[in-house]
């Protein structure tokens, strides 16, 4: 048992989960191709969220931060900056997909088929596309997911695929059983 000596609280994730805490992330064995995780909670994107993200990332495009400019644009109003939408979706998926990850290996095919506006609420889901055991290390494997982001109207506003390296729950059992490719 790992204890934070200064605080006297349990800090080890596995110990906290064994006490009844919400599981955070999944082991390789827990992923099944075709499973869809509907991430919770949803997130309403505020003007403050968008402006702060733009300022932090030095993206000062007026479409995102200038109401007068945006009113004359094709959309007729401010559009939430795309990397914020991606970052929110990625973050919302962590507890279901990569909470136990060793590493995030790749993001592919990121697209924004429709704009997100201040006040839109994002609903995110991830589908497991593939699961592979490591050929060289029996304690891990990769999982590829397709994450989709919808607004409150059900419109697809962003999507991407990512590859995550996750640990096995039982690496010794897998090696003993010869389950390593």
Q: At the fourth CATH level, which superfamily is domain 35-177?
A: Hotdog Thioesterase (3.10.129.10)
Cα angle value 133/135/137 (rounded, 5°): 85
Contact 93, 87 (CB under 8 A): no
The domain segmentation of the chain, as residue ranges, is: 35-177
Q: What is the pLDDT of residue 5?
A: 54
Q: Tokens 């059900």 — which residue?
A: 154
User: Virtual CA dihedral for 16, 18, 20, 23, nearest 10 degrees?
Assistant: 70
| Residue 180, pLDDT score | 46
The tens digit of pLDDT for each residue in 39-94 reads 988 999 999 999 999 999 999 998 998 899 999 999 999 999 999 999 999 999 99
What integer best gives the mean pLDDT of the chain? 88
């Amino acid at each position: 048992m790992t204890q934070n000596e200064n605080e006297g609280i349990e800090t080890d994730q596995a110990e906290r989960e064994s006490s009844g805490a919400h599981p955070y992330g999944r082991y390789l064995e827990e992923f099944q191709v075709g499973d869809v995780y509907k991430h919770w909670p949803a997130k309403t994107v505020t003007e403050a969220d968008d402006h702060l993200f733009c300022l932090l990332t030095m993206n000062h495009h007026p479409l995102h931060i200038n109401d007068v400019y945006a009113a004359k644009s094709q959309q007729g109003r401010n559009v939430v900056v795309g990397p914020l939408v991606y970052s929110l979706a990625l973050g919302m998926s962590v507890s279901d997909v990569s909470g136990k990850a060793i590493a995030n290996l790749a993001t592919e095919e990121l697209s924004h088929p429709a704009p997100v506006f201040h006040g839109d609420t994002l609903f995110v889901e991830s589908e497991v596309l593939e699961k592979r055991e490591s050929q060289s290390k029996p304690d891990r494997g990769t999982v590829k997911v397709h994450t989709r982001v919808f607004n409150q109207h059900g419109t697809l506003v962003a999507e991407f695929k990512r590859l995550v390296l996750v640990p096995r729950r039982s690496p010794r059992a897998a090696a003993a059983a010869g389950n390593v490719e």
